[in-house]
Amino acid sequence: MPEALHRLQQLDAAHHIHPFNDNAELAKKGTRILTRGEGCYVWDKEGNKLLDAFAGLWCVNIGYGRKSMGQVAAHQMDELAYYNTFFQCTTEPAIHLAAKLAEISPADLNHVFYSNSGSEGNDTVLRMVRHFWAVQDQPNKNIVIGRYNGYHGSTVAGASLGGMKGMHAQGGLPIPDIHHIEPPFFFADGGDYSPEEYGLVAARRLEEKILELGPERVAAFIGEPIMGAIGVYIPPMTYWPEIERICRKYDILLCADEVICGYGRTGEWFGAQYFGFTPDIMTTAKGLTSGYIPMGAVLFNERVASVLRQQGGELAHGYTYSGHPVCAAVALENIRILQDEKIVETCKHDTGPYLAERWQALGEHPLVGEVRIAGMVGALELVPNKAERKFFADRGKVGGLCRNIALNNGLILRATYDSMLLSPPLVISRSEIDELFEKTWKSLNETAKALA
Ligand SMILES: *Cc1c(COP(=O)(O)O)cnc(C)c1O
């Protein structure tokens, strides 16, 4: 091991607490240090070239190494590095980005509130939906319903809206007046239903919960169009339209957490378009800047925005960096690239279908019990017995093993339990998809061998 690498790992172990890690174990093992990225590839300090089939953390939609992103940021820093949007002020990039987001977003989601991340965006959502009803003389209509195993970020509100029990256990969460229903996960929960029937059954859990709590108490429902972190649960196409019908019936705001799905991941600009429903509110981040700089944007429709705008008095909410001009300029450049290079259309009509074909073919492997794919996001469910929709007894072991084997083969996949997760840069080419297929197949073989 080169001395420089070892020294860096020692410093990291001594001073850097890593998110979502067993830090004691990591300190012993040593962190992987990434140094460079180009297109769909990253390089580490040891000189390994890795095909990043996870786009960093679901976010590097336009791929690594785009020079114009840095040029735009440098230019904006030279002109005006920072100004706030609090005191009756704004900046040109913040204005142009708001207008651009209104243009590309579906339906009448034409109003933007800026955050710095997905978690912060969901904090904004929680406060705004409660405020929305409170200023209309319904302060008790303050409950938000999310889903068990949903992921909405890691701040107090984000983790509370999410339904990860391990996260709730650290820090006394969820905060009051947040409830959860079971998520749609056909593989484990579909029983003898067809996927279409199951989508309706899973959606109607929302109606049961609303009736249990009382519709006059429920402010909003929040969900990821595709549940990412827990394992890329892609609901049947019947699920979201039924959720929308139920929200409309009881006058409950429908919030789509588009932090993964937004900006092209499904081959549509937003996940709501893929599933054919219209939310009142959308949380976005990640693909908004392709991860080149932190930024989030919450989009509100006309109804919600008109209440927030006309409530009378001050909107007591905001972040120092809401609408940061450098971040907004970078987001605009990111969207320009997505549009000018027709990246979303290419995913929908060309590379997405090709990826789906090759990813589906991995389903023939004896270890794979289910293949999930929508546009450029998918999963392989590894199972002990291909004939049954059942998990391994020791959940997570085989997934972790396969992930490590893939890394040794020069491929970054993520594992949640025994789901191997796929979310490559949207610019992945057909030949890179072939490489992805071959490396995944090889890794599955080696995993099966290691188990035998
Ligand atoms: C990543 C993610 C978040 C949190 O975003 P951060 O930028 O990490 O705060 C929220 N919701 C979903 C669906 C996510 O995938």
3-state SS, residue 114: strand
- Contact between 395 and 417 under an 8 Å Cβ cutoff? The reply is yes
Q: What pTM did the predictor assign? A: 0.98
- Contact between 13 and 26 under an 8 Å Cβ cutoff? The reply is yes
H-helix or E-strand containing 36? strand 34-38
Q: Which amino acid is at 301?
A: N
Q: Which amino acid is at 262?
A: G
Distance of CA 408 to the CA centre of its chain: 26
Smallest Cα–Cα separation from 143: which of 176, 183, 121? Answer: 176
* Residue 2 binned pLDDT confidence (cut-offs 50, 70, 90): low
* Residue 388 binned pLDDT confidence (cut-offs 50, 70, 90): very high
Query: pLDDT for 323-368, tens place per residue?
Result: 999 999 999 999 999 999 999 999 999 999 999 999 999 999 999 9
Looking at residue 310, its pLDDT comes to: 82
Cα-to-centroid distance, 385 and ligand 1 (Å) = 33
Residue 1 has pLDDT above 90, yes or no: no
Residue 313 has pLDDT above 90, yes or no: no
Looking at residue 135, the DSSP 8-state letter turns out to be T
The CB of 256 under 6 Å from ligand 1? The reply is no
- What average pLDDT does this structure show over 21-26? 95
Looking at residue 383, its pLDDT comes to: 98
The CB of 124 under 6 Å from ligand 1? The reply is no
Looking at residue 258, its pLDDT comes to: 99
Query: pLDDT for 218-256, tens place per residue?
Result: 999 999 999 999 999 999 999 999 999 999 999 999 999
- What average pLDDT does this structure show over 199-223? 98
**CATH 3.40.640.10 in the chain, residues?**
68-340
* Rounded distance between C-alpha atoms, residue 240 and residue 370, angstroms: 21
- The verdict on whether omega for the bond into residue 174 sits within 30 degrees of 0, i.e. cis, is yes
* Rounded distance between C-alpha atoms, residue 87 and residue 82, angstroms: 14
- CATH top-level class for 32-65+342-451? alpha beta
Domain 68-340 architecture:
3-Layer(aba) Sandwich (3.40)
Cα-to-centroid distance, 206 and ligand 1 (Å) = 23
Task: Give the C-alpha distances (Å, rounded to integers) separating 198 from 125, 184, 272, 381.
Answer: 29, 8, 19, 19
Mean pLDDT of the chain: 97
- What average pLDDT does this structure show over 423-449? 98
Which of left, alpha, beta for 196 (phi over 0: left; psi -120 to 50: alpha)? alpha
The CB of 123 under 6 Å from ligand 1? The reply is no
Query: pLDDT for 78-117, tens place per residue?
Result: 999 999 999 999 999 999 999 999 999 999 999 999 999 9
Is residue 3 classed exposed, middle or buried when 0-12, 13-18 and 19+ CB atoms within 10 A define those classes? exposed
Which ligand 1 atom is at minimum distance from the Cα of 57?
1
